[in-house]
Structure 1
Amino acid sequence: MNAEHLPVPARPLLPDQFDTELRARLSALDAASDTHASEQRPDNTTLAYRADWKTWTGFCAQLQIPTTAATRGTLRAFVDYLWTREKRAYSTIDRKLAGVTVTLRQQYSVVVDPEATKAARELLKDYRKKAEEAEEPARGRGKAPAMRLDSLRLIVSKCDTDIFGIRDQAMLLLGFSIAARRAELAGLRLRNIRDDDNGLLVDVRVSKTDPRTVAVPYGTNPATCPVRAWKAWAEAAQITDPDRHAFRRIHHTGSVQPQGLTPQRAGDIITAAGLRAGIEVLFTGHSVRSGLATEARRAGKDRKAIAAITGHKEGSKVLDGYMQIVDQWDEQDNALIGIGL
């Protein structure tokens, strides 16, 4: 066909040319996508966004401005308010900015100017830099203490033999093995834990990082084997529905409930298990995650192999933070020992 006679492609419609029927279909698609996205979001993230919005509405009420007025000036003022008056941690303020912008977009169809949020975050970085230069104490809870293997063994040995103890053992050992955050433990469904000839394949889908699949082998010590611990819990709890939570609430009578654990409750169970074992360190929901990274590093495991379990990107500085220094006089943790001084 001669090029002169090629059909001219139709010019696409511009948004202001959409008819009523098309707008309705697009609106329905938006609503369906919002619902799907919210279902994928971890429960703790949803709760955090609600708290962020509550903080924002209180701030706007003080300034007597509408909550939809997220401009460069108001967002900077919000950062100043949280940093100077509320004394919030850097990471908390950064997340609250995200929570406000997400809520405005999803619930009010207000798209905040990216330059406005960029300006607010630049101010936040300036505040943190000045605080570091002034050698001010770091804000926030700090890093979760790593649950080392010796502590994990002791904690597991002190768990009761009843249904509560069987669940707690499985949570601790499987959580350690997949380097779980508390929300990841709470978010596991039965379908996410699959049997394999060599152990288990655990699909971590509810995660702050990218979804990952962790191959969990049988342990050499039956008392701390995560595979055996999981199978014991699954059998005792009679978990069969693949869409139900892997770890459940238990009534005080010992009856396993259909409801899953909240992230907060999953963390509380880990903390309580450490206290029952008489360990002075106050472990948190992230302690099993940090413990796996720390122990794997000390065992000489490849960094990529560790990142495959934790879900971190290659070269992640966050992963470095999980690999904690354990003994300042140990040759592995003290770079001065054994170098020839």
Structure 2
Amino acid sequence: MSSQHDEVVDAELVEDHLPALRDTARSLALPPADPDAWLPPEAEEDAKAGIADSTNTAYTRDFRDYVTWCQTVSRRPIPAAPQTVTHYISHLTRTPRPKTGRPYSPSSLERIIASIRTTHSAAGHQPPETKGARKVLAGYKARLSEAQDPRSQPNKTSPALPAVLRRALSVVDRATLKGKRDAAILLLGIACAARASELVSLDVASITEPEEVAGVGIRVRLYRKKVKKWQNITVKYGQDKDTCPVTAARAYLQALQAEGHTQGPLFMRIDRWGYLGAPVYRGGKQIGDPTGRLTTEAVSDVVEKSMAAIGMAGRWRSHSLRRGFATAAALAKADPIHSARHGGWADNSTAYQGYVQEASGLGDDNPLTNIGL
């Protein structure tokens, strides 16, 4: 199973808009080429705020591995010659990773190239030209594809379509606080096409019922981290009470209120005895958010365990909810622009277009539907 870092970085990354990772270059004692290529601490913090922590961590890890390799082969890591990057990518396509026993996937190599270029910019250097490295990568993709190696395809999550969620929810004990929470995660997750990071950032106050949505549903105020915008999403009543996101959200909010939790995080840790926000310790030290807010991995665990409970095959993670929305909307022939905007995708998002394209083979718009076979 790939890490959260891999999933976040590989999904919808736009390299040119990432902020500088100057601290990485500085920690490696790599001087900038331009004497004016520096930022005061407060400006660095502002720049870091524009990138997800998981992406920053992945880039830092990738670049450190690259520097270590450069030292072993006596190559200059920065400013790097184009041949150095080509050599490194070629090396990675042929070198098994200790963790998996296999070389990196093409999508991970794309990320590594981006990390090298980004950190060059952070240090005030011109990013190296990577045509040679990308030719190596293209050949690697071709070899994997011809061999039908699973690494030639993106490691995508399975889409949690409404019919699948209905089955998963049928075995959730919704009489308990935990069951109410898990149902709300699953149904608000698909209704808002939310990433795990967006779901866990919700507060109790994020769910409202203003006058303009009376009789229609609820309003969810969500921060879309990828596009860095707040969004007010109208979540309508579902056709089935068992899969109605409004009903699930209200039931969970009422249960929280009964516990005296009326402000702060919406999705909270619940221990095996049903206690809300109980502290968690490891090695005698408290871990996790002290407020009791769920982590993104915990949201994936909710999805994964729900699907395992009904024996559903596939790769189930938090992103299954977001992908499930895109697939279901496409199958329902919903307006693609409205659907993309509802889910916080950019109008030209290749990720969303890919989901729509995959869904087209499942519906009536499949060209084999009416050709007389």
User: Is TM-score (shorter-chain normalized) higher than 0.5?
Assistant: yes
Give unpaired runs (5+ residues) of structure 1: 1-25
User: Which one of the candidate residues 323, 326, 330 is aligned to 1:297?
Assistant: 330
1:162 aligns with 2:182: no
- The amino acid of 1:225's aligned partner reads C
Look up the SS of the partner of 2:57 in the other structure: helix
- Count matched residues: 308
Greater fraction of residues in helix? 1
1:249 aligns with 2:250: no
Question: Deviation per CA, 1:57-78, whole angstroms, max 9, x where unpaired?
Answer: 4423433456545442332233
Match of 1:224 in 2: 243
Q: Does the 8 Å contact 1:43/1:262 carry over to 2?
A: no
Question: Deviation per CA, 1:275-302, whole angstroms, max 9, x where unpaired?
Answer: 1133233422221112111111111111
CA distance in 2, matches of 1:247, 1:117: 45
Look up the SS of the partner of 1:170 in the other structure: helix
Deviates more, 1:306-315 or 1:288-297: 306-315
- The amino acid of 2:160's aligned partner reads M
Please list, as runs of the form range in 1=range in 2, the aligned pairs for 1:322-333 lying within 5 A after superposition: 322-323=355-356, 325=358, 332=364
Deviates more, 1:174-183 or 1:81-90: 81-90
- Normalised to the residue count of structure 1, the TM-score between the two structures is 0.76
Q: Does the 8 Å contact 2:62/2:112 carry over to 1?
A: yes
Instruction: Pick closer, same or farther for the CA change 1:134–1:274 going to 2, 3 Å.
Output: closer
Match of 2:281 in 1: none
Please list, as runs of the form range in 1=range in 2, the aligned pairs for 1:1-341 lying within 5 A after superposition: 30-64=40-74, 68-86=78-96, 87-103=103-119, 110-114=123-127, 116-119=128-131, 122-123=134-135, 125-128=137-140, 130-131=142-143, 134=146, 136-139=148-151, 142-160=155-173, 161-190=175-204, 192-196=206-210, 197=213, 198-209=216-227, 211=229, 213=231, 214-238=233-257, 239-241=261-263, 244-257=264-277, 258-323=291-356, 325=358, 332=364, 334-339=366-371
Look up the SS of the partner of 2:198 in the other structure: helix
Give unpaired runs (5+ residues) of structure 2: 1-36, 97-102, 278-290
Larger Rg: 1
Shift of 1:149: 1.3
Q: Does the 8 Å contact 2:109/2:137 carry over to 1?
A: no
- The amino acid of 2:109's aligned partner reads I
Identical pairs, percent: 27
Shift of 1:172: 0.5
- The amino acid of 1:78's aligned partner reads Y
CA distance in 1, matches of 2:123, 2:239: 55
Question: Deviation per CA, 1:243-283, whole angstroms, max 9, x where unpaired?
Answer: x4432222333222223333222212211111113323342
